[in-house]
Amino acid sequence: MSTGLLTLLVAALAILGMVMGRSRAVATAGGDIRKLHSLPFFYGRFTALLTAVPAFLLIIVWLLAQPLIVENKAAALLSPADIPDGSSKALVMTDVRRIAEGLDRLTESRTDIPALKADPAALKAAMNAAGVALQTDPAPSVIEAAEALREAQGRSRLYLSIAAGIVALGGFAWGVSRIKPEFRARNATEIFTMWLLIGCSLIAVLTTVGIVASMLFETGHFFRLYPAKDFFFSTTWSPKFGGGSSLGIIPLVWGTLYVSFIALLVAVPVGLMSAIYLAEYASKRTRAWVKPAIEILAGIPTIVYGLFALITVGPLLRDWIAQPAGLGDSSSSVMTAGLVMGIMVIPFVSSLSDDIINAVPQSLRDGSLGLGATPSETVRQVVMPAALPGIVGAVLLAASRAIGETMIVVMGAGAAAKLSLNPFEAMTTVTVKIVSQLTGDTEFASPETLVAFALGLTLFTLTLALNILALYIVRKYREQYE
């Protein structure tokens, strides 16, 4: 039974439970609903919830776990001899999956499957005709594994249908059997709903656990294949698919920090000064349209900035500054990425700083102005010191944003890992390398791929630390005037 059909059946049973529960409740009360503890529809809802929710949870968990178990079974049938040189078990398993899918399609249209299975070349031709592209003639053991995979999938689907059916029917029967006039159906449904709400709010925690666990797991994997000392302290980055690569993070971290530094060099003065102007000088009407206009910059997707860096800013900087000054002739450079990223981060600095400057009590300003200070002296000597921790927090948040930014640096900073001071040279960052190591056909066994997880974990830790520090500073400051 397909998953869709199963879902529909469970849903139908739940609707039936809703109707049955309600009518049974009315019936047990002898048609007089005043005798019921709760309104009749609560009895129906109770039955429906008991029918549907556990069954759906089972289906979801099963579908997530099924490939794991089923594929292990099929993979066990493959011997090391079946894996060609330069390939891996994972790649062969892709073929197995594809053949299994092809066999599914072929069984619909052809009857000579056993004959086909004995003849790899004919099988390949038939598969290609059915829209499943195979590069080489499949080895007999691969076909066998595919067959085993299909069988196991079919069996798993059957078991799932049976198990979900039992759970749904059991919930249904239990729900209906509990219906009595004195049964507190409303309270029961509410407790049930409350647990659903709690479950939903736990998803956020599960996401974090998932992020940390998956990255820790793969990073551990990576450090078993590649020494951690070299990863953290080597100054060369040159991955070679084929072994003998050196994967030092230092040039990547250098590029990341350099780009972020230039971005902050652009964003902090511009963002801070516009926040001060908007908060202290601008009329209400100017503020009403300038503030949203600057915030548009934050709403533009980063791919747009990336393209802007690639087609406009990069060539402009190269032709007008880098080449005449003899600093380099690459259109992607730290300066390009940094400038464009700076533009992107302006609203992060300006919006937060604006809020923080506005939170400084008016009495401080009045006191300063009353003593004869000009507005700018008030800002510099009274408002700024009071708002400083918050502004530092805003800058740290902007920095974490810049460090984690991907598309701008992928399209604007370049791909060569270098340790250089020249901002017009192409350098690369942690995020660029995560993308380049993980895009395309990935194979989870080589250090060249797994290094991306170590990079990701580094990035995650770095940005998390910055965020926590920023939030801590902002929070600590806010308490002062409340």
Partner 1 sequence: MSGSLFTLDARTKARNAAERRFRAYGLGAIVIALLALVWLLISIFSAGLPAFRQTFLTFPVTLDASQLDKSGTGDVAQLSKITTITYAKILGQSLEAAIAAKGIDLGGAKPKQVADLISQESAATLRSKVMADPALIGTTIDFTTLASGRIDGYYKGRVTMDSAALDKNTSPEQLRLADKLKEAGMLAVRFNTGFLTMPDASDKRPEAAGLGIAILGSFMIMAVVLVLSLPIGVAASIYLEEFAPKNWITDLIEVNIANLAAVPSIVYGILGLAIFINFAGLPQSAPIVGGLVLTLMTLPRIIIPTRAALKAVPPSIRDAALGVGASRLQTVFHHVLPLAMPGILTGMIIGLAQALGETAPLLLIGMVAFVRDVPGGLFDPASALPVQVYNWTQRGDPGFVERASGAIIVLLVFLIIMNTAAIILRRKFERRW
**Contacting partner 1 within 417-456 (CB under 8 A):** 431, 434-435, 438-440, 442, 444, 452-453, 456
Among 397, 399, 417, 474, binds partner 1 (CB under 8 A): 397
- The stretches of 311-444 forming alpha helices (DSSP H) are 314-317, 334-359, 362-370, 375-378, 384-404, 407-412, 430-438
Told to check if 395 binds partner 1 by CB under 8 A, we report no
What residues from 82 to 121 belong to the interface with partner 1 (CB under 8 A)?
none
Residues 176 and 16: their CA atoms lie apart, in Å, by: 11
Q: Give the shortest CB-378-to-partner 1 separation in angstroms.
A: 10
Q: Are 277 and 427 in contact (CB under 8 A)?
A: no
Told to check if 140 binds partner 1 by CB under 8 A, we report no
Q: Give the shortest CB-57-to-partner 1 separation in angstroms.
A: 14
251-286 b/e (C-beta count within 10 Å ≥ 16 → b):
bbbbbbbbbbebbbebbbebbbebbbbbbeeeeeee
Residue 113 or 369 having the CB closest to partner 1: 369
Q: Are 364 and 386 in contact (CB under 8 A)?
A: yes
Among 59, 379, 382, 383, binds partner 1 (CB under 8 A): 379
What residues from 169 to 188 belong to the interface with partner 1 (CB under 8 A)?
186-187
Told to check if 198 binds partner 1 by CB under 8 A, we report yes
- For residue 103, how many C-alpha atoms fall within 13 Å in the half-sphere facing its CB? 25
Q: Give the shortest CB-13-to-partner 1 separation in angstroms.
A: 21
Told to check if 214 binds partner 1 by CB under 8 A, we report yes
Burial class for 77, CB neighbours closer than 10 Å (0-12, 13-18, 19+): middle
What residues from 293 to 322 belong to the interface with partner 1 (CB under 8 A)?
293-294, 296-297, 299-308, 310-312
Q: Give the shortest CB-18-to-partner 1 separation in angstroms.
A: 17
Among 47, 260, 274, 368, binds partner 1 (CB under 8 A): 274
Among 120, 261, 463, 469, binds partner 1 (CB under 8 A): 463
Among 78, 143, 278, 334, binds partner 1 (CB under 8 A): 278
Residues 66 and 59: their CA atoms lie apart, in Å, by: 10
Taking residue 79's Cβ as centre, other Cβ atoms within 10 Å add up to 10
From the centroid of its chain, how far is CA 116?
A: 43
Taking residue 201's Cβ as centre, other Cβ atoms within 10 Å add up to 8
Residues 65 and 458: their CA atoms lie apart, in Å, by: 29
Burial class for 24, CB neighbours closer than 10 Å (0-12, 13-18, 19+): buried
Q: Give the shortest CB-326-to-partner 1 separation in angstroms.
A: 27
Told to check if 41 binds partner 1 by CB under 8 A, we report no
Burial class for 426, CB neighbours closer than 10 Å (0-12, 13-18, 19+): buried
Stretch that binds partner 1, among 222-230, 325-333, 363-371, 460-468 (CB under 8 A): 460-468
**E strand or H helix at 247:** strand 246-247
**Window 11-40: contact mask with partner 1 (x via CB under 8 A):** ------------------------------
Q: How many residues does the chain have?
A: 482
**Window 338-377: contact mask with partner 1 (x via CB under 8 A):** -----x--xx--x-----------------------xxxx
Q: Give the shortest CB-87-to-partner 1 separation in angstroms.
A: 17
What residues from 233 to 262 belong to the interface with partner 1 (CB under 8 A)?
none
Told to check if 5 binds partner 1 by CB under 8 A, we report no
Among 205, 325, 370, 479, binds partner 1 (CB under 8 A): 205
Q: How many residues form the binding site for partner 1 (CB under 8 A)?
A: 93
Among 241, 288, 468, 481, binds partner 1 (CB under 8 A): 468
Q: Are 258 and 423 in contact (CB under 8 A)?
A: yes
Listed residue (44, 451, 415, 51) closest to 232, CA to CA: 451
**Residue 138: DSSP 8-state:** P
Q: Are 430 and 455 in contact (CB under 8 A)?
A: yes
Among 12, 273, 388, 445, binds partner 1 (CB under 8 A): 273
Q: Give the shortest CB-438-to-partner 1 separation in angstroms.
A: 5
Among 30, 64, 81, 108, binds partner 1 (CB under 8 A): 64
Residue 200 or 421 having the CB closest to partner 1: 200
Residues 221 and 450: their CA atoms lie apart, in Å, by: 7
